[in-house]
Amino acid sequence: MGVKIRKKKNKFYVYVNYRGTRKAKCVGTSRAVAEQVKGKIEARLTLGDLGFLHEEKEQAPTFEHYAMGWLKRYAELECKPATVRSYEQLLRVHVTPRFGQKRLSEINRDQIKDFIAELSVGNRFSRNTLRLIMCALRTVLSAAIEDGLIESNPAARIGRFAKTEKPARQASAMTREEAERFLEAVNLVCAEWLPFFLAALRAGLRKGELIALKWGDIQFGENENDSNRYILVQRNFSCGRFTRQRAD
């Protein structure tokens, strides 16, 4: 007879392993409550009361149903709009077509390995894209553990199975000469955009950061040699709206 308490992400779970029958239950955030539940289970097992081990567990929802709820319930409240859009796209395009109609409890590690192997064929996707697909799948399944719907995450530590060749061509920054020629072309074709691209090249800002930039964010200093010259990045423009930058 084995009744154990384990803590996962601030929640306590009581695990029962009795003569080959296993059962797990999330009992909340209190260690004292978990100890009480453990004691009651041990007492029932001692008395030969095994009925609770064979109670039918509530059927887990399908992956698609749960993932859609997770996006609304958690991602849209806790994540940046761009992150939510990325999760939604990765789940809709890659993960849901494969696992959408399966119940969470039916998804296993071998199925996920096969899924990654198929995505890796022909180098259709970069390493980073495969990593993001796995991250979306793993995150949803981790949330399902927190909700007590599954006991373990079959996608945990499985990214190492995704092997793709490095692309033949790597991205590289412009040389000084290329940057100067680019700015000359901008000045000839669309001079009103010259400050935008000049700031992009000189400060290394992303497009959303450049769009959200205001005059008050720029400290010009007294001259070019003044050390008190900087751009304060406070906002970003993403998914059609302005957002505040998170402090690291």
* Mean pLDDT taken over the chain: 83
Domain that holds residue 231: 176-244
* pLDDT at residue 180 in the model: 93
What would the two tokens of residue 32 be? 């004292």
Q: In the predicted model, is pLDDT for residue 127 greater than 70? A: yes
pLDDT, mean of residues 178-196 = 93
Are 141 and 224 members of one domain?
Answer: no
The pLDDT tens digits of the residues spanning 227-237 come to: 788 888 888 87
Q: Looking at residue 111, which CATH number applies to its domain?
A: 1.10.150.130
DSSP state of 93: I
Look at the pTM and tell me if it is higher than 0.75: no
Q: In the predicted model, is pLDDT for residue 30 greater than 60? A: yes
**Dihedral angle of Cα 32, 38, 41, 45, to the nearest 10 degrees:** -150
> b/e map of 44-79 (b: 16 or more CB within 10 Å)?
bbeeeeeeeeeeeeeebbbbbebbbebbeebbeeee
Q: In the predicted model, is pLDDT for residue 71 greater than 80? A: yes
* 171 inside domain: no
pLDDT, mean of residues 199-212 = 87
pLDDT, mean of residues 170-180 = 85
Number of domains making up the chain: 3
* 168 inside domain: no
Are 239 and 210 members of one domain?
Answer: yes
Are 205 and 127 members of one domain?
Answer: no
Answer yes or no: are the C-beta atoms of 143 and 63 closer than 8 Å. no
Residue 23: CB atoms within 10 A of its CB come to 17
* pLDDT at residue 239 in the model: 65
Are 40 and 93 members of one domain?
Answer: no
* 169 inside domain: no
* 233 inside domain: yes
Are 70 and 157 members of one domain?
Answer: yes
The pLDDT tens digits of the residues spanning 137-163 come to: 999 999 888 887 887 899 988 755 455
Residue 196: CB atoms within 10 A of its CB come to 16
CA gap 117, 122 in Å, rounded: 10
pLDDT, mean of residues 48-66 = 75
* 170 inside domain: no
* pLDDT at residue 208 in the model: 86
